[in-house]
Structure 1
Amino acid sequence: MSGMPALSHLPPAALNKTVAMKTVDTRPFEQSLSLVPPTLSRSYPTESRVLDSIRFPNIFTSATATMKTRYTPADCFTYDRTNIAQRESSQRLGERVSDITFWRSELMQELDRMLAETNRLNDSRRMLEHSLKDTENPLHVTKECLYFRENRQGIDLVRDHPEESLLREVDMIKDCQARMKNLLDRVNLQLTRNRAARQDLEHDTMNKNHALVIDSTQHSLYNHSPAITYYPGIERVDNTVSVPETWAEHTNRNIQQSQTLTHRLGESNDTRNKLLGHRDKVQREMNDLERHIDLLKKAILDKSAPLKVAHTRLEGRTHRPEMELCRDPPQHRMVREVQELSESVESLRIKLSEAESSLHRLAQTRARLDHDIGVKTNSLYIDRDKCLSIRKSFPLSQPHLVDFTLY
């Protein structure tokens, strides 16, 4: 038995032949096949035939498939689009943070103006109440004079000039009292409105602070931030209640409601703010359009080198001798390449021309807006800085009275 090859290393054909020659029960050998160590027998001469049955994988095919799986041009394009999308989102978030900061500053300034105006109104109300009380004594004196004059007798009991003067004085004092009471009611009503407007301003300012913290946090996130994670389906969640136009209008309306005393100034300021907002929007569009124009110019420039290569190749092939001047497949492809590149460049130039025309129109619109803003700013300066200052410094006949005219 020691001179025979191990059964575990015999090929199937040899094993079957051996079993056919010797009618032996192979079940004991089959059971022992799993126990024999996998070693090659020295006595078996055709050892290479065993290796022939082994199929090794194609290393180059596997490597090529691995490279294709690891990196493709589509992956590069997707990577670029991902970076562009993230960069644009970050830019929009930065602009949003700037908008919130601007309107929060406007709200805080309006709150300061509101507090100062409310303090002046309270002072005016106290002075008005004091002045109304001061008219009671002159009215009482005048009425007493009229009562005493009723005790005249005989031919002296007439309606003379002094009595008419006293009656006019009574009417004048009562008319002044009625006006001051009406003005006092208006002051109280305005104070009530101021309190409501102040609550709206404080609430809006608190919301702006909260939104500013959130958007600033989101703006500071980057690809390696520890706080980022997946939120499946978050892109389908839409709990928004406003758009940029209504958002700005809401804040602007809160500010305008707190400026009832200077309604005309508020209208001019509102118009100027709208013009400024429109101008900012036009300026942003111009910036985007300028970037778009730069990209178009770069795209046209990037295609010049391939077009030069195609032209040079075609020109060089014109120098082939005699029958070698064949309109072969390379010639067809290069001609198509020149046509495709020329069409692409022409399309880009048309888009560039349209973009430059749009930019020119936007520049004209911005110039008109700048002119309108200058007109409104001048009107605000005249009404607020000149007229109101003169009205507030108007001299009074009595030191404790003030001008109660509501603007």
Structure 2
Amino acid sequence: MPEACICDQNQNDSQEQEAQVCQPVGEYPPKAYPPDHPCCDQKLRNAGDVIKGPQVGDACPPMGPLGPWATGRVDWGPLAGLTGTRPVVDRYSITRYSNDEWRNHNAALVNETAAKHQSANRVDHESRRAAECTASRADKAQLDSTERLQRRAQDVHCWKTELERAAVAAGEEINLLDGQRQRLRTALGVLRLPAAIAGECLELRTARLEPDLVRDRVEEELVKEVALASEVGELMQCTLKRFEEQLAANKAAKQRAECDWSDKKEAYEIETTNVGLRNNSPDILFHPGATRFGGSQSSPESWERHTRESLELLEAENKRSKELRGTLDALLTNVSRDLRAQADLVDAALACRIAETTEALRFFESDLLQTLSHLAQTQKLILDLKTAVRAQDMPLKVAQTRLHNRLERPSVENCRDEPQYGLVDEVKCISAGVAGLLGQLKQAEDLLQTLLKNRADLERAILVKRKTLVIDGERCRELRSHFPSSVALSGY
């Protein structure tokens, strides 16, 4: 194919000499525009540039570095940053910015680097000063804290010694009373056993899972048993007059003093350990949450008041115990019949509840088997529907490929003939069928989720019932087997 050249004539302005560019028309057809072409707009070139089309008889000069679409001007006005005012860059042009812009860019980068260096020096100086001040304040704060911890350890040790002395005196007084109440103590131990068994059964039944955590007849009878045992205990306390109350008061006061002494002993050890901690200690660690104030922390005033109250209470109880020592007013009330009758009611209610729970468990297990069967069928249906949807991919591809190929028919041959409408109808038919299958697939997936939820609910219900049977049928029955007999409850 012969090559044609389009040469640019010299412009009228003698100050700007443009080099002619010889472009092969066959090689670069997109750039061979005449002057009156719409793409040759005035806004795409600099003011004063003139682009002329090829003239008859023009010779083709040697190819220059710049063509008619890149004027080669590298200096322009303040509007150079706006779109359309820069010179056009073609494949032969390497100019984009002016020398002034290049120098301004370099100067801005150097100034920015210098500013960053100054900022880095200032930050380094301030950081080192802050580190020195922080270390000094930390050392002073640690020294003050050590002195305060030493004073606190001394206070704790003094109160600990006082509590230890008072607890030893209270123990001696309790031993003297214990020798006179040995027989009554045995009877009281037997009478406490029904209350302990009923309370333990109630505690065990609180471990039932939520659907079975109901106030049934078993729980009502157990509550009645606990109340009855409590009334029996109160009656015995009244019968024993103030003797048992005094003994319980002595033990409570001694226990409170011992607990306080134990807490102070542990606190003293902790404070001693804290006093010995230093920066080079091997067992120091980070504890981010240690600065929080606990909701149960006491104030120094309440701490000292609590210790004084423990000591005063212990001394007062010891004084009253000495007055009551040697007095024994033992009167055992025959309550074995009432306790044994209440125990029989609890056992009957427990057996009835176990039977009901077993029956419910049987129904749930049967429903679970049916649910699993439907679940397997639904999963197979989903796989079949997905296979059917995928099977329509190839016919749809064939129809769409045929339509695509027919669109490439040249000129008047690309007509809407009967095969064209038939292929379109085929695509619509296949798409409608796939949409219907996807709808069925969505329904099957929804059904699968429903069955899965039903299975989880049934499994949860079975777990609840089995948990209840373990608590009522095994643990509670085992515990109830240790209920004291009528002879034991009578105190003989």
**With structure 2 as the length reference, what TM-score do the two structures score?**
0.27
Structure with a larger share of its residues in helix: 1
Of structures 1 and 2, the one with the larger relative CO (CA 8 A, separation 6+) is 1
The structure having more radius of gyration, on CA atoms, is 2
